[in-house]
């Protein structure tokens, strides 16, 4: 077996082993985690050269992921999500790669140039593609199969003004993601505590916000829509929190949004 394939398979094993140790140490039910690890390890395929990128219905994974950027309609996003689900675990290495800081930095530079161009060109040019948004959308489509990506998602929480989508995606992976969410409820970073609290409340009040009953139907809420609603809730919670810590200022009429460093949030 080539060294690259051995390395990737060992990496998947380490991810699963780490999550199991975290769960055992905190006495949570690890049955769901074990099942997920066994399934993912058995189904995951090793990363091959670009020409071996997984495909579905004659289109490469990258082609489907591009449909999450500037989609023509919610149906376009729904079809792309369905394609990622059909590809399954072999999509994971390609999605994880898109989470990288380097790719996101390139996107932010392109976004800045795009924003400047909008002041000078008509009609408007399409917003540049965001590799991280594509990864987020793909991981959301995989659901519990995205569990091996948890360590990579957790790294994103160290960024300034972390994206609320990260913890949302963690919860979507199942028990290990719930454990991760609970850990951040007592985090020493205010923004993370706030995001974790909002997500925890959402999970208690409306689990379908994370696990839609009609997740694959034509009327299913897209990931873009669910994250937009989450961002609104986080902004509202931030405004309330600000009014509590600054009572003399009152409740701001238009609170400043918690713009993540990745700028991966969709434009409403």
What pLDDT, in 10s, does the model give residues 20-72?
A: 444 444 444 443 444 444 444 444 444 444 458 999 999 999 999 999 988 87
Residue 254 lies in a domain: no
Q: What average pLDDT score do residues 111-122 get?
A: 73
- pLDDT of res. 113: 79
Residue 165 lies in a domain: yes
More confident residue, 51 or 4: 51
Residue 219 lies in a domain: yes
Straight-line distance from the first to the last Cα atom of the chain, in angstroms, rounded to the nearest whole number: 47
The angle formed by the CA atoms of residues 88, 33 and 136, to the nearest 5 degrees, is 45
Question: What is the full DSSP assignment across 52-120?
Answer: G--EETTEEHHHHHHTTSS-SSHHHHHHHHHHHHHH-GGGHHHHHHHT-HHHHHHHHHHHHHHHHHTTT
> What 3-state DSSP class applies to 242?
helix
User: Cα(192)–Cα(174) distance, rounded to whole angstroms?
Assistant: 20
Number of domains observed in the structure of the chain: 1
Residue 256 lies in a domain: no
Place of tokens 């996107």: 107
Residue 265 lies in a domain: no
| Residue range(s) defining the domain that contains residue 199 | 3-245
- The first and second tokens of residue 180, run together, are 């991760």
């Amino acid at each position: 077996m080539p060294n690259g394939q051995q390395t990737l398979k060992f990496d998947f094993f380490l991810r699963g082993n780490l999550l199991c140790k975290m769960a055992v140490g905190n006495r949570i039910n690890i049955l769901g985690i074990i099942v997920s690890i066994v399934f993912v390890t058995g189904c995951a395929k090793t990363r091959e050269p670009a020409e071996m990128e997984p495909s579905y219905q004659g289109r490469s994974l990258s082609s489907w992921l591009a449909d999450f950027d500037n989609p023509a309609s919610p149906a376009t996003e729904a079809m792309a999500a369905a394609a990622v689900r059909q590809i399954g675990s072999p999509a994971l290495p390609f999605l994880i790669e898109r989470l990288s800081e380097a790719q996101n930095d390139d996107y932010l530079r392109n976004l800045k140039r795009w924003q400047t161009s909008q002041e000078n060109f008509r009609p408007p040019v399409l917003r540049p593609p965001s590799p991280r948004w594509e990864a987020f959308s793909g991981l959301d489509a995989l659901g519990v199969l995205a569990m091996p990506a948890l360590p990579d998602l957790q790294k994103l929480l160290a960024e300034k003004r972390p994206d609320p989508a990260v913890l949302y995606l963690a919860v979507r992976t199942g028990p290990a993601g719930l454990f991760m969410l609970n850990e951040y409820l007592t985090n020493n970073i205010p923004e993370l505590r706030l995001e974790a609290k909002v997500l925890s409340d959402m999970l208690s009040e409306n689990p379908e916000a994370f696990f839609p009953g009609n997740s694959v139907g034509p009327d299913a809420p897209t990931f873009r829509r669910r994250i937009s609603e989450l961002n609104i809730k986080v902004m509202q919670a931030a405004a309330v929190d600000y009014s509590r810590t600054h009572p003399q200022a009152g409740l701001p009429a238009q609170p400043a949004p918690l713009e993540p460093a990745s700028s991966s949030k969709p434009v409403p």
